[in-house]
Structure 1
Amino acid sequence: MPTLPEPHQLRQTAESFGVDAERYDRARPRYPAALIDRLAAAGRDVLDVGCGTGIVARQLRDRGCAVLGVEPDERMAQFARTRGIDVEVAAFEQWDAKGRTFDAVVAGQSWHWVEPARGARKAAEALRPGGLLGLFWHLFVPPEDIAAAFGEAFRKAVPESPIKFNRTPTRDAYRPVVEKALAGTEFGEPEVQFYEWHHDYTRDEYLDLLPTQGGLTRVSDEQRAAVLTAVGAVIDARGGQFTCDYTTVLFTAENR
């Protein structure tokens, strides 16, 4: 069986989310207030890696932080700018800090697109002594029938995709990504916090969210429609709505 590429090697996918930046910003869930408070407590100056449309940046700005975003997709960056976020366009590994340093470097739902060793070195260079690296992701678990319908439809519609969806993500799903990045660095042992919450989706809201996932940003309209039709049918059978369980996992490490 061929070895699947690591996410950071899928550059075309990593830089594809701006295909519909407005939908991405509208549909993607925000982050728990307690998590944002934890990051904001690290200090005022924050660097947001893979800032996308500025979802994390705006939440931190509302806590009084001054946020600079780094984003490889100009379309996403431009959307964030329209919302008042300062963004520089670059892959983080090639980004030039120009001597600037920050109290915190954060990455929401994006660090798996960063080359581990180079990204960690870049983060350490951008952080002040004692600064905080905060890496976090949503783990979402829709009901089993909806997850199964999505997985089956995606495999049928996009059999050639290198992205494989895990129907039951565990709390440790992103731990290997973090451990690989921090191995051999000056960062301290990462601490882990979990934030559990729920969101009620209507059929239309969930079908609005699905195309913002990496597996569906670079497919044809026909392939995307096939997946959404299959998932929509299952949600319709449930009465047109359902509750999705979320766990947002936050890894933090101090720059020594």
Structure 2
Amino acid sequence: MSRRPPPPEAAEAFAAVYDRAAPASLAARAYRLPAPALAGYSTLADRAADGIRRAGAFGEPEQWRFDWSRPYSRDEWLDQLPTQGDHSRLPPADLAAALAGVGAAVDALGGGFTMEYTAVVVTAALSGDA
């Protein structure tokens, strides 16, 4: 699954928060990076499909892609944020500062924003010969 970056104004605000609160964290870099390319995930899916073919026990693999959006309120985003990346390794004071800053940034965006997601799936039916 690939989470695309939040809207540009949210990404900029979040990057500024992490630059202050946890400059050495993955999040400090993540909000400054370009959107993860789905091509990278497609490469992984292609490898999985090749492995399925080599196993010889399945029919032809198929790749499916699912795109969706999810709106987040301030509280919903803050509830799940500590589970992302290296947040669990931040010192408690740094995590608290990051959460406070991100919360303020989401408030400044009107109290919420929408994230875009994509999932790429490889599937194949078990062959009758197996």
TM-score interval for Structure 1 and Structure 2 normalised by the shorter chain: 0.5 to 0.7
CA distance in structure 2 between the aligned counterparts of 1:211 and 1:252, rounded to whole angstroms? 32
- Paired residues of 1:147 and 1:167 also in contact (CA < 8 A): no
Query: Mind listing any 5+ residue stretches in structure 1 that lack a counterpart?
Result: 1-136
Confirm whether residue 208 of structure 1 aligns to residue 75 of structure 2. no
- Paired residues of 1:194 and 1:250 also in contact (CA < 8 A): yes
- Structure 2 match to 1:150: 14
- In the TM superposition, 1:4-23 aligns within 5 A as none
- In the TM superposition, 1:171-250 aligns within 5 A as 171-179=38-46, 186-187=54-55, 191-250=62-121
Which structure's CA Rg is the greater one?
A: 2
| Letter of the structure 2 residue corresponding to residue 145 of structure 1 | E
CA distance in structure 2 between the aligned counterparts of 1:154 and 1:190, rounded to whole angstroms? 41
- Paired residues of 1:216 and 1:224 also in contact (CA < 8 A): yes
- The partner residue of 1:168 within 35, 45, 70 is 35
SS state at 2:86 partner: helix
The percentage of aligned residue pairs carrying the same residue is 37
CA distance in structure 2 between the aligned counterparts of 1:150 and 1:213, rounded to whole angstroms? 14
Aligned-pair CA distance for 1:208: 0.9
Confirm whether residue 252 of structure 1 aligns to residue 123 of structure 2. yes
Structure number with higher relative contact order (C-alpha < 8 Å, ≥ 6 residues apart): 2
- Measured against aligned partners, the alpha-carbon deviations of 1:30-79 in whole angstroms (never above 9, x if no partner) come to xxxxxxxxxxxxxxxxxxxxxxxxxxxxxxxxxxxxxxxxxxxxxxxxxx
- Which structure has greater strand proportion? 1
- Paired residues of 1:200 and 1:241 also in contact (CA < 8 A): yes
Query: Mind listing any 5+ residue stretches in structure 2 that lack a counterpart?
Result: none
Distance change in 2, residues 1:240/1:190 (3 Å): same
| Letter of the structure 2 residue corresponding to residue 144 of structure 1 | P
- Paired residues of 1:151 and 1:167 also in contact (CA < 8 A): no
- Paired residues of 1:187 and 1:254 also in contact (CA < 8 A): no
- Measured against aligned partners, the alpha-carbon deviations of 1:76-123 in whole angstroms (never above 9, x if no partner) come to xxxxxxxxxxxxxxxxxxxxxxxxxxxxxxxxxxxxxxxxxxxxxxxx
- Paired residues of 2:45 and 2:63 also in contact (CA < 8 A): no
| Letter of the structure 2 residue corresponding to residue 159 of structure 1 | A
- Structure 2 match to 1:16: none
Aligned-pair CA distance for 1:147: 2.2
Residues paired across the two proteins, number: 120
- Which structure has greater helix proportion? 2
CA distance in structure 2 between the aligned counterparts of 1:144 and 1:222, rounded to whole angstroms? 27
Q: TM-score, normalised by structure 2?
A: 0.67
SS state at 2:69 partner: strand
- Structure 1 match to 2:3: 139
